[in-house]
Amino acid sequence: MADETVIRKNPGKEKTEYVTTYRPSLLSSLPRKPQRQSLGIPDAGLPFRGLDEWNAYEFTWLNPKGKPEVAVLKFEVPCKSAHLIESKSLKLYLGSYSNTKFGHRSEVISTLESDLSLAAQAPVSVSLLTPEHVLQTGLSVLHGTSLDTLDVEISEYYWDPSFLRVQSDTIVRESVFSHLFKSLCPMTGQPDFASIHIQYAGRSINHEGLLKYLVSYRSHAEFAEQVTERIFVDIMNRCEPDRLTVHSHFTRRGGVDISSVRSHDDAPSAEVRLWRQ
């Protein structure tokens, strides 16, 4: 491997090291258990299935001749993993590949899988998508009823599950979504924007209350994966649907986005790339 290169930004201020040769120690993770305990989720037997899917659009490394290779890095962390990946450390860790030579693409994948699985404390699957593959896949849309067209007055921007309520005892199967979601990163305070897709079967949920509930996260600080679990638990506690799936499609920040899904059903794929991702 080449000699280590470190770039320091903002001289005279708090310094961030941008390491450009492979350094796995940059990657860090956080335990899921404390957050889940606060939501009343038991240690044994999660009330949902699911995964956290990450996409890194600015991933690069060097081939044996020193020529750069580029790809969209996609990896999936199962929700049953003991830890979640901390996003800032992930970006720094991935940046350390940029001036590192690898003999073959498979070596890059195996290195990523080993490091990410160790951090998550669960098997993590990795794939590298070529620009051609990404172009062929293209963008997708969410299917169902948009809550964003509702003409409602909103004044509460701190997490408030009391907005959730059942509309009627009529049993329905419904798919609804909103692009208006915003929360805050608990590490940096930066805004995290997302599209939230909710599919359920059970008594009809009031749309106005559901939209107000989602908007009430605007000043709430929490990791994306935990937000998804909080939404799932809140809807189950307040509305008691028979079946529920919550997809959170967070927009990219620093070239990386995350989509989380929690569901009663066998872990459906979170792989839907939206217009902001």
Nearest to 43 by CA among 53, 27, 58, 32: 32
**3-state percent helix, strand, coil for the chain, nearest multiple of 5:** 25, 35, 40
Amino acid at 65: K
Q: Count of residues for the chain?
A: 277
Strand intervals (E) in the chain: 6-9, 16-19, 29-31, 49-62, 68-78, 83-85, 125-129, 145-146, 166-184, 191-205, 243-250, 256-263
CA count, 13 A, side-chain hemisphere, 189: 0
Is 192 one of the catalytic residues? Answer: yes
Task: Please say if 239 is a catalytic residue.
Answer: no
- Given the residues 115, 192, 234, 257, select the one marked as catalytic: 192
For the annotated catalytic residues, the residue numbers are 185, 192
